[in-house]
Amino acid sequence: MRIVKSLLFTLALLLPLLIQAKEANSTVTKEATQKVIKQESGKGDAIKAAHELFTIMNLKKIYAKIVDDATNSLIRRAPQLKSVKKKIHAYYNKYIGWDAIKDDMAKIYAKYYTAKDLEELVKFYKTDLGKKTLETLPKISSEGRSLGINRMREHQKELQEIVQKALQPKEEKAKK
């Protein structure tokens, strides 16, 4: 009987704490759910803002050029495919064309930028400096790629020597 009384007494003490913990857990769950909903709503706003940014950046035109360049590059490497150039172009357009990729790109932007960030980028790209940046960045990127390629060509022999030494059999290395 004494044990039962002790258990009842302990239960009486713990019951309010258990009820309070359950309510606190419920509040935390509600707050977490609201936070997720708010984040998802924010992502929706960011996705919408990303699409506006894409329009300002003229990405539809840029992706059309990417599809054209990919098609032409393949035809240059394999001229026998010239007879199916339109089909190859359609293939690239289907998978990497703007209509195929824009929604996924918006999700990527929304992953790294808030709607406010993207709206600020839109404002920037509407300015004269923003327009100049959009016009100039592809040229800068191209020149930077060419610079890297040219530097590697200039020093290609050094890389070949490093690779040859690394691939030599161990006996030849030991003799030297």
pLDDT (tens, 9 = 90+) of the chain, 176 residues, equals 555 455 444 545 555 655 665 666 655 555 554 444 444 445 889 999 999 999 999 999 999 999 999 999 999 999 999 999 999 999 999 999 999 999 999 999 999 999 999 999 999 999 999 999 999 998 998 899 899 999 999 999 999 999 998 998 766 656 65
DSSP class of residue 97? S
Phi, psi for 78 (deg, rounded to 5): -140, 75
Overall pTM > 0.75: no
Residues 90, 67: Cα–Cα separation, whole Å:
9
Q: What angle do CA 100, 103, 86 make, to 5 degrees?
A: 10
Residue 118 tokens, joined: 């993207």
Phi, psi for 113 (deg, rounded to 5): -125, 145
Radius of gyration of the chain (CA): 31
Residue at 18: amino acid letter = L
Whether 61 contacts 67, CB under 8 Å: no
